[in-house]
Amino acid sequence: MNLALGTAGVVLGLVASFGAVVTLAVGLINHKPDLLRLSRVYTWLVLAAAVLAVFAMERALITRDFTVLYVAKNGSSRTPGLFNVATMWAALEGSILLWVLFLAGYTALVGRKFRDRLTDPLVGWALLTMFVVCIFFFGLLLGPANPFKSFNPPLGYDGPGPNPLLQNNPLMAFHPPMLYLGYVGFTVPFAFAIAALVTGRVGEGWLVETRRWTLIAWGFLTVGIVLGSWWSYEVLGWGGYWAWDPVENASFLPFLTGTAYIHSVMVQERRGMLRVWNLSLLCATFSLTILGTFITRSGVLDSVHAFTESGIGPAILGFFALVVAVTVGLIGWRGDRLRSPGRIDSPVSREGAFLANNVLFGAFAFIVLLGTVFPLLVEAVNGKRVSVGVPYFNRMTMPVGLTLLFLMAVAPVLPWRKASGELLRHRLLWPAWIGTGCVVLGVLVGQTGLASLVAFGLGGFAAGSAGRQLVLATRRQGWRGLVGRANGGMIVHLGVVVIAVAFAASSSNVRQAEFSNLKPGDTATLAGHTITYVRQNEEVDSNKTSTQALVLVDGHGPFAPGISKFTLNGSTVGTPSVFSRPTVDVVVSLLVAPESPDAPISLRVTVQPLIMWLWIGGGIMAFGTMLAAFPGRRRRGIEPVSAPVPDHRPGRSPGSVDPSGPAGPGDAGEPSRQPAGANARLVLGPEGA
């Protein structure tokens, strides 16, 4: 039954997606509004198909239906309930199924959001683009990533369960869905960008339609990356949280380009500039989510995340190439209409700072992309397998990251068009003093190294600048002043500063040592922290047996670092234990499972400052993104390009719509302008005019 239900869902989704593309194409080419209105029906059909397929898979996992090959290879009667549900995205086929569920959900939400404007060509082309993406991923489920293949289990068969690393921490249940919500969410603004290029309506109005969608996708991606770092820190036991692993980089790349787009889009909305750059960034962000899926699920790179190798790689790589070719072709085709009517009057201005910000984010992304794909290029040329190490990434990205911190401090206080030296001195005085104070504080608490102290200083500088903006906003509008893109963005900046300072402090002040032959009652000391070994302990769960070393850290505990042996596949996985405080973390890992209860043990101890603030900073970024996604008290009056425009040509009824779309402000002609004055100041923040 599960096989039949799942296959029916996949087939229904593929057929509905094909039907939607054909219907929308005919309706758009022949200007048939009735066909365009049918797109909403197709969105619900695709969503129902995806839900049916996911329901069938989860039902098969929960009931341990080993007649489904995916369940036989990844499920087990001994897998705990939470991890059993999460097994759906623990391997290739199930992760594509999760992707399809989110993609169908976003498509249905777009149909719901624009239900009154389905006859507008911009919305029609956007939905058509999303349905084309649906065709590709439903096609994967019916072809190389089919999760509903049958299996004939022998009597008494029990599966091996998911990879042991994926059933060793509850974060596994939340990290991949959050990451995929971010990945898939960028399909919406990408689809509207393609629609704007196809219709020629490449002004500022389509940006209004996608602003919130982009922020939400970026927020989910941010949370997913932070949770992934936390998972790595809690599970892998190496004492770190970011290793520039190829799959970590795959999620970080669209984050970088998406962040650049969120900043530079404000220049286009305000001044009508950077049109080609913004379209390129948005298309690059979506393309990088596809490339990230290729790196994650094709098995072409060695990674702790790469749990599978399959024939899906060529299909995803081909789709990536198609996306890049189509977007580059469309941008070249619309080159004349993409000319910006405005220009940068002075580099010392907000638009100048945003342009520099874009260049730096682009350089950051290029550095990470080069280090990630270089092994692939070398292997393709001469067949040798090489790897790019952490020193390359740290050395190349550190200057860029520090410069971005500096821009975070300066850009929010810059006015549009041009800034005077006196204005900058006035607005940056207190942030500069706060930055200086942070450097002094860093020295007092024992921070060493030039990069760490510079990060403290620039972090304080940027935090002071963001805090100043927030104080002015709340003075004028109360707590309501925190809501809106400008000031919600300042809260995001504060979260970035917290993460940057915590990253610099923890990376430059890590202390690690191994202690052997510890017997009950023995102690070890590292960086002023005392670890006392108490005794051994053994825990037996349904899927594993854990040998633990009970230890005290500075008299607190006991903590129980251990090594778990999974029953069915015999794999062993270490489980560190973390003593966490606001100022410092002490991570204790058991290196080897002792042969007997009285045998001595070996421990690895890692001491790092400010680790907790990495996760707090991620929470602040998520909170700021949520505030930024909602409108402030006043919003800029750009008329949405996707709003249907009545056609007053002779022979047309007053209520008819011109299929070519509006030719008003924000299109190929003059961009819409916001009058100067009080409204502009409220939109851009306390001093945005």
DSSP string spanning 188-233? HHHHHHHHHHHHT--SSHHHHHHHHHHHHHHHHHHHHHHHHHHHHH
Q: Which amino acid is at 431?
A: P
CA pair distance 266, 261, nearest whole angstrom: 9
Is residue 667 a part of any domain in this protein? no
- pLDDT value at 616 more than 90: yes
Considering 11-25, 81-95, 250-264, 531-545, the range whose residues carry the highest mean pLDDT is 11-25
Q: Parallel, antiparallel, or unpaired for β 523-526 and 511-518?
A: unpaired
Q: Could you identify the residue written with the tokens 């790179």?
A: 301
CA pair distance 352, 420, nearest whole angstrom: 14
CA pair distance 577, 209, nearest whole angstrom: 46
Q: Could you identify the residue written with the tokens 């036991």?
A: 237
Mean pLDDT within 430-454: 84
CA pair distance 477, 659, nearest whole angstrom: 42
Instruction: Identify whether residues 420 and 351 lie together within a single domain.
Output: no
* Cβ atoms of residues 464 and 436 within 8 Å: no
Residue 387's pLDDT band, with cuts at 50, 70 and 90, is: confident
- Measured between alpha carbons, how far apart are the two ends of the chain, in Å? 63
Residue 167's pLDDT band, with cuts at 50, 70 and 90, is: confident
Mean pLDDT within 25-49: 93
Is residue 472 a part of any domain in this protein? yes
* Cβ atoms of residues 269 and 204 within 8 Å: yes
Q: What average pLDDT does the structure give for the chain?
A: 83
Is residue 649 a part of any domain in this protein? no
Which phi and psi (to 5°) does residue 55 adopt?
Answer: -60, -45
- pLDDT value at 285 more than 90: yes
pLDDT in the model for residue 492? 93
Instruction: Identify whether residues 499 and 544 lie together within a single domain.
Output: no
Closest CA to 294 of 246, 259, 261, 329: 246
Percent of the chain exceeding pLDDT 70 equals: 87
Residue 641's pLDDT band, with cuts at 50, 70 and 90, is: very low
Mean pLDDT within 91-109: 93
Mean pLDDT within 570-575: 80
CA pair distance 127, 191, nearest whole angstrom: 7
Instruction: Identify whether residues 352 and 221 lie together within a single domain.
Output: yes
Instruction: Identify whether residues 249 and 142 lie together within a single domain.
Output: no
pLDDT in the model for residue 354? 84
Q: Parallel, antiparallel, or unpaired for β 544-553 and 584-590?
A: unpaired
Q: Give per-residue burial for 592-608: e unless 16+ CB within 10 Å, then b.
A: ebeeeeeeebebbbbbb
107, 141, 157: which is the final residue of a domain? 157
Instruction: Identify whether residues 476 and 505 lie together within a single domain.
Output: yes
- pLDDT value at 657 more than 50: no
Residue 10's pLDDT band, with cuts at 50, 70 and 90, is: very high
- pLDDT value at 339 more than 80: no
Is residue 151 a part of any domain in this protein? yes
Considering 47-61, 326-340, 394-408, 635-649, the range whose residues carry the highest mean pLDDT is 47-61
3 state SS of 538: strand
Is residue 478 a part of any domain in this protein? yes
Domain residues for the domain of 1 are 1-157
- pLDDT value at 5 more than 90: yes
pLDDT in the model for residue 157? 87
- pLDDT value at 232 more than 90: no
pLDDT in the model for residue 124? 93
Is residue 457 a part of any domain in this protein? yes
Instruction: Identify whether residues 472 and 490 lie together within a single domain.
Output: yes
Instruction: Identify whether residues 195 and 147 lie together within a single domain.
Output: no
127, 157, 187: which is the final residue of a domain? 157
Mean pLDDT within 304-313: 58
Instruction: Identify whether residues 123 and 176 lie together within a single domain.
Output: no
Instruction: Identify whether residues 14 and 81 lie together within a single domain.
Output: yes
pLDDT in the model for residue 329? 92
* Cβ atoms of residues 579 and 557 within 8 Å: yes
Report DSSP state, residue 545.
E
Q: Which amino acid is at 553?
A: V
State the pTM of this model.
0.86
Closest CA to 23 of 11, 13, 38, 44: 38
Q: Give the alpha-carbon dihedral of 1, 172, 619, 304, to 10 degrees.
A: -130
The model's pLDDT over 586-614, given as tens digits with 9 standing for 90+, comes to 999 998 888 777 788 899 999 999 899 99
Instruction: Identify whether residues 243 and 368 lie together within a single domain.
Output: yes
Is residue 643 a part of any domain in this protein? no
Neighbours of 582 (CB within 10 A): 11
Residue 396: both structure tokens together: 């190349």
Range in 142-151, 232-241, 556-565, 672-681 the model is least confident about: 672-681
Q: Give the alpha-carbon dihedral of 279, 284, 285, 287, to 10 degrees.
A: 130
Closest CA to 47 of 21, 9, 3: 9
pLDDT in the model for residue 639? 40
The model's pLDDT over 348-371, given as tens digits with 9 standing for 90+, comes to 778 888 888 889 999 999 999 998
pLDDT in the model for residue 11? 96
HSE of 689, CA atoms in CB hemisphere, 13 A:
9
Mean pLDDT within 647-675: 37
CA pair distance 66, 86, nearest whole angstrom: 17
* Cβ atoms of residues 493 and 405 within 8 Å: no
Percent of the chain exceeding pLDDT 90 equals: 39
pLDDT in the model for residue 664? 34
Report DSSP state, residue 675.
P
Instruction: Identify whether residues 621 and 681 lie together within a single domain.
Output: yes
Instruction: Identify whether residues 180 and 221 lie together within a single domain.
Output: yes
CA pair distance 569, 577, nearest whole angstrom: 24
Residue 301's pLDDT band, with cuts at 50, 70 and 90, is: low
Longest dimension (CA), the chain: 96
- Could you give the number of structural domains in the chain? 4
Q: Which amino acid is at 657?
A: V
Mean pLDDT within 299-324: 71
* Cβ atoms of residues 586 and 578 within 8 Å: yes
What's the angle, vertex CA 485, arms to CA 482 and CA 487, rounded to 5?
Answer: 35
pLDDT in the model for residue 668? 31
Is residue 144 a part of any domain in this protein? yes
pLDDT in the model for residue 494? 94
- pLDDT value at 25 more than 60: yes
- pLDDT value at 643 more than 50: no
Closest CA to 211 of 192, 237, 230: 192
Q: Give per-residue burial for 609-646: e unless 16+ CB within 10 Å, then b.
A: bbbbbbbebbebbbbbbbbbbeebeeebebebbbbbee
157, 187, 217: which is the final residue of a domain? 157
* Cβ atoms of residues 470 and 487 within 8 Å: yes
The dihedral sign for the CA sequence 465, 471, 476, 479: positive
Residue 220: both structure tokens together: 């989910």
